[in-house]
Amino acid sequence: MQALILAGGEGKRMRHVTAHLPKPLLYLPGGTLLDHQLALLWGLPVTHVFVITRHRHGDVSQALRGLQSVTPVQQKPPFTLLGALASAEGLVTEPFIVIHGDNYFSHDLEYLAREVDCTRCGSWPEAVLATDKQDSLGDVAGRLASTGCYVLSPPVFGLVRELLDRDDLRSLTAALLESGAVVRAVPLRGWRANINELQDLLVVSRLVLEQWSDTFHTPAAQEGYRRTTGYSGVECPIWVSPEARVSCSDLGPSVVVGPRATVRRCVLQNVIVFPGAEIEGERVTDGIVIPAADGPLVLAPDRDVDRGQESEAEEEPPQLPPSADK
């Protein structure tokens, strides 16, 4: 089995963040969103991962440098979802699992891989799709397209080529059903969330910390969970990298501090301090801190705190991930 991560989206609804870094490098407890997805895939019998990129391609490629059996692939036009899938044609030669790059999954994906017979790779399109429990009001194609995680056989590219201008997975699932392809639905385990806005990232981070023992993590994540040594005040749950430096600060709840970050004399609540960022003497609630050339940039869901620039993101209520059986 091979794998694709579709990681080329610009993230227009969180443009005040993605102007500085691509969505795959958004940070969560224990690693980036891309780190988390790669860890999910390495728990499967996957021989090679292709990461389809476009927005800030160089940043994503740099993050993947040195990883064995992982290849960044720059997306070819058109810049649609199915255009991203088509960019892998000719690279994958066996059944392949696809993860949409803006999706977080709380559960490992072994159950999905077990549904795939990798010894079969015939000339007829096949698909196995993880689906939410939601009924989708009788829309079978919509239900099959509900999670952003699925396994396809290479002959599916024949259908993809006919749908290049479509930017939604439902177009492909509808074409699969209409063609008579072998299509199977597998109920999603755990919960998942689309990270489309900054508020989504903060909600996922908080839920991961609150549900730590029931959530999938990258291999090194455990070292930072509830790490509290040397802080003046802590309200758990928090996650602090062993490579971070924190002093004279009150942290928590729901604070994440990434590797090589420095926090001095701060009060932080529901904040993610990204790797390499430095912040001193600040009180921040509900936001992220990212490194920038002219100093740390503190961003909130509705505005750029440090520079007072209004975000172009639409203001919508945060969407909690749907619950599902583990």
Place 13 in a pLDDT band, splitting at 50, 70 and 90.
confident
pLDDT at 318: 39
Predicted confidence at residue 97, as pLDDT, reads 97
The owner of tokens 């050339």 is 293
The yes or no reply on domain 2-192 and CATH 3.30.720.200 is no
Q: How many other β-carbons are positioned within 10 Å of the β-carbon of residue 243?
A: 13
**Residue-wise DSSP of 190-212:** S-EEE--SHHHHHHHHHHHHHTG
List CB contacts of 313: < 8 A, sequence separation 6 or more: 12, 13, 14, 15, 16, 197, 198, 301, 302
| Residues 191/323, Cβ–Cβ less than 8 Å | yes
User: What is the per-residue burial (b if ≥16 Cβ within 10 Å, else e) of 146-155?
Assistant: bbbbbbbbbe
As a whole number, the mean pLDDT across the chain is 89
Strand, helix or coil for residue 313: coil
**Looking at residue 301, what is its pLDDT?**
85
Residue 265, pLDDT score: 94
Using CA atoms, how far apart are residues 250 and 323, in angstroms rounded to an integer? 32
Q: Is the pLDDT of residue 85 over 60?
A: yes
**Residue 228 — φ and ψ, nearest 5°?**
-125, 0
Residues 219-269 pLDDT 10s:
989 999 988 766 778 999 999 999 999 999 999 999 999 999 999 999 999
Q: What is the pLDDT of residue 322?
A: 46
Asked whether the predicted pLDDT for residue 118 surpasses 80, the reply is: no
pLDDT in tens, 34-84: 999 999 999 999 999 999 999 999 999 999 999 999 999 999 999 999 999
- pLDDT of amino acid 308: 36
109-145 CB burial, b ≥16 within 10 A, e <16: beebbeebeeeeeeeebbbbbbbeeeeeeeeebbbbb
Burial (0-12, 13-18, 19+ Cβ within 10 Å), 165: exposed
**Res. 310: pLDDT tops 60:** no
Percent above pLDDT 70 for the chain: 88
Overall size of the chain counted in residues = 326
Confidence of residue 323 (pLDDT cuts 50, 70, 90): very low
Q: Indicate if the pLDDT at residue 147 is higher than 90.
A: yes
Q: What is the pLDDT of residues 184-217, one digit of tens each?
A: 999 999 999 999 999 999 999 999 999 999 999 9
Residue 166 pLDDT exceeds 90: yes
DSSP 83-134: HHHHTTTTT--S-EEEEETTEEESS-SHHHHTT--TT---SS-EEEEEE-S-
Whether the per-residue pLDDT at 280 is higher than 80: the answer is yes
DSSP letters, 45-87, are S-SEEEEEE-TTHHHHHHHHTT-TTEEEEEPPSS-SHHHHHHT
* Nearest partner of 114 among 92, 93, 132, 97, judged by Cα: 97
How distant, in Å, are the alpha carbons of 14, 82, 198 from that of 164? 25, 5, 29
Q: What percent of the chain has pLDDT over 90?
A: 78
The Cα–Cα gap between 148 and 192 comes to 9
Average pLDDT over residues 78-95: 96
pLDDT at 44: 96
DSSP element (H, E) containing 280: strand 278-280
Please name the amino acid found at residue 271: V
Which pTM does this prediction carry?
0.90
**Higher-scoring residue by pLDDT: 294, 4:** 4
Between strands 192-194 and 103-105, the pairing is antiparallel
Could you tell me which residue, 301 or 161, shows the higher pLDDT? 161
